[in-house]
Amino acid sequence: MVPTKPSDQILITVAPTGAETTKADCPQLPTTLDELVATAQECEAAGAGMIHVHIRDGEHRPTLDQTRLRDTVQALHESTGLVVQLSTGGSVHDPLEDRLKVLDAQPDSCSLTMGTTNFGDDVFSNPWPFVAELYQLSQERKVVPEFELFDLGQVHAMRRLIDTYGLPYSGKVHCDFVMGVPGGMPGTAAALVAGVAMLPDEVTSWSATGIGRSTLPVALAALSMGAHLRVGMEDTLTLSRGVPVERNAQLVERAVDLAALAQRTPMSPSDARVLLGL
């Protein structure tokens, strides 16, 4: 089991947009490049060190368009210091070949989900050959993967991946528990404890995020175990029952406040780069 040694610093990752919420349902969701950049700047000022990015097209629909991805990485690098992580998960409708091409946009980091998960009424497809190809591509291209764990079996798959293909190019292994997706593991302290107990020894850092109503229970459980946090409108659209999130920075600010209670201070983007081996 990976020791959860207390650290006085915490990496807060913001996932501001996601691929599942429509602009029509949530007009405050940052879907244009200008909105994304403004959100990123505000979240960096509030304490975020990394941004997990999904982009949208001119109609606010999820896209993996290469030009838009490259422009987004460039704009975020020019206007913030944040570690830029592009989603390779995309939306549940994105073809695997388009998801592999995300690395062409040369992000600092990419998400890399460790297996297929029922995702509400849809299926988030991550067959083993795809996972293995994407991982080897991240090694070749020197992109730091963040291993996304939606279920306990995926912790074991990460073990298999590292045993088969070795460490990421950075030598660091950072993973993120994404909990409470209908079809994945529940967003509970018990599930998090079980997942952490299964982490390979090679893991050097881990974070957690809880979807919807599990956001706060997962954040509090993760903080109690010395973990890092991911927050953002990809994962939750309310601050409390009936109170919508108006700005992603509100969720970052809340994470900073919770971390302060645990006597942890937010990591700067440059410290985040050290943590991730960038």
Q: Which residues sit at the interface with Zn ion, rule CB under 5 A?
A: 87
Q: Does 19 bind ligand KMH (CB under 6 A)?
A: yes
Helix/strand/coil for 123: strand
Q: Does 177 bind ligand KMH (CB under 6 A)?
A: no
Q: Does 119 bind ligand KMH (CB under 6 A)?
A: yes
Which of 17, 31, 80, 87 lies at the binding interface for ligand KMH (CB under 6 A)? Answer: 87
CA angle in degrees (0–180, nearest 5) for 229-142-264: 20
Q: Which is nearer to ligand KMH, 62 or 226 (CB)?
A: 62
Which of 88, 116, 207, 209 lies at the binding interface for ligand KMH (CB under 6 A)? Answer: 88
Q: Does 65 bind ligand KMH (CB under 6 A)?
A: no
Shortest reach from residue 5's CB to Zn ion, in Å: 28
Count other Cβ atoms within 10 Å, centred on residue 27.
9
Which of 20, 35, 65, 202 lies at the binding interface for ligand KMH (CB under 6 A)? Answer: 20
Torsion of Cα atoms, 128 then 133 then 136 then 138, to 10°: -110
Query: What is the 8-class DSSP label of residue 267?
Result: P
Nearest to 4 by CA among 167, 225, 216, 193: 225
Distance of alpha carbon 251 from alpha carbon 278, whole angstroms = 26
CA distances from 244 to 124, 176, 204, 221, 240 (A): 26, 25, 35, 23, 8
Q: Which stretch binds ligand KMH (CB under 6 A): 42-50, 86-94, 131-139, 238-246?
A: 86-94
Shortest reach from residue 78's CB to ligand KMH, in Å: 23
Q: Does 124 bind ligand KMH (CB under 6 A)?
A: yes
* CA dihedral sign of residues 276, 164, 208, 5: negative
Q: Which stretch binds ligand KMH (CB under 6 A): 75-83, 85-93, 188-196, 258-266?
A: 85-93
Shortest reach from residue 55's CB to Zn ion, in Å: 11
Nearest to 255 by CA among 212, 213, 208: 208
The residue with its CB nearest to ligand KMH is 89
Residues of this chain that interact with ligand KMH (CB under 6 A) are 18-20, 87-89, 91-92, 111, 113, 119, 124, 148
